[in-house]
Amino acid sequence: MIKFVNVSKVYPNGSVALENVNLEIGKGEFVTIVGPSGAGKTTLNKLMLDEERPTEGTVLFENVDINTFSRSQITALRRRIGTVFQEFRLLPNKTAYENIAFAMEAAGKSDEEIVSDVPHVLQLVDMADRMFHFPNQLSGGEKQRLAIARAIINQPEVLIADEPTGNLDSRNTAEVIEILKKINDLGTTVILTTHDPQLIKAVGQRIISMERGRVVGDDQRAATVI
């Protein structure tokens, strides 16, 4: 589904973020990318979203080179990939319901769809009783679950979660991982990045290790409880 072929990325200031990365992520996989800060994880995500372009090599989405995309093709690509970030990025003046409704409106969904789908997705992330809370009335774990609900509401094929548990304690981290697994079970490809080696024990499945811009490990593991 997503393929990196001999990808290197050097930023204009000379920082080498990725060096000859070759990677293939299949439809329906749950992939965890682990590596210390500066390893190149966020850059990898940005290349998948066509927010940055490789200095060398090719990034393919369903066998199409996304780095040839026009602006409208990039918009279409980003509709197919939901994103979640460490710092939540919720709209502070909107309730949980409105944060999700806003994302649906932006994607051209009808009022009927919004009214029927928003409660549904909030239930999926166990937030049905927080529907009319504003972000500052939610705990960190609840904020992240809301951000996940917003990221999946328009049914993307891929969900990229970039350090989604970076601001969370261990209990909320475990809840977020469980929700990501549930979303993966429902058919969405999930790409999780983390600097926390502890976390990969809970996630299991495919673990890609990165160091200094290179992929240094790629293996399948079973999950254990943290």
Please select the residue that binds ligand ADP; options are 2, 4, 32, 43, rule is CB under 6 A: 43
Please select the residue that binds ligand ADP; options are 42, 172, 173, 194, rule is CB under 6 A: 42
- The residue range among 13-21, 84-92, 116-124, 200-208 that interacts with ligand ADP, by the rule CB under 6 A, is 13-21
Q: Confirm or reject binding of residue 73 to ligand ADP (CB under 6 A).
A: no
Task: Tell me which residues in 192-221 interact with ligand ADP (CB under 6 A).
Answer: none
Output 41 or 181, the one with its CB closest to ligand ADP.
Answer: 41
| Residue among 49, 152, 146, 142 nearest 104 (CA) | 152
* Residues that contact ligand ADP, how many (by CB under 6 A): 12
Rounded to whole angstroms, how far apart are CA atoms 141 and 147?
10
Please select the residue that binds ligand ADP; options are 2, 4, 21, 40, rule is CB under 6 A: 40
Output 113 or 211, the one with its CB closest to ligand ADP.
Answer: 211
Report, in Å, the least distance between residue 163 CB and ligand ADP. Answer: 8
> What are the CA-CA distances from residue 161 to residues 72, 123, 126, 129 (Å)?
24, 20, 18, 24
Please select the residue that binds ligand ADP; options are 25, 30, 35, 104, rule is CB under 6 A: 35
| Residue among 98, 102, 103, 171 nearest 130 (CA) | 98
Report, in Å, the least distance between residue 48 CB and ligand ADP. Answer: 12
- The residue range among 9-17, 60-68, 111-119, 182-190 that interacts with ligand ADP, by the rule CB under 6 A, is 9-17
Rounded to whole angstroms, how far apart are CA atoms 20 and 81?
24
What one-character-per-residue DSSP string does 21-78 give?
EEEEE-TT-EEEEE--TTSSHHHHHHHHTTSS--SEEEEEETTEEGGG--HHHHHHHH
Q: Quick one: DSSP state of residue 96? A: H
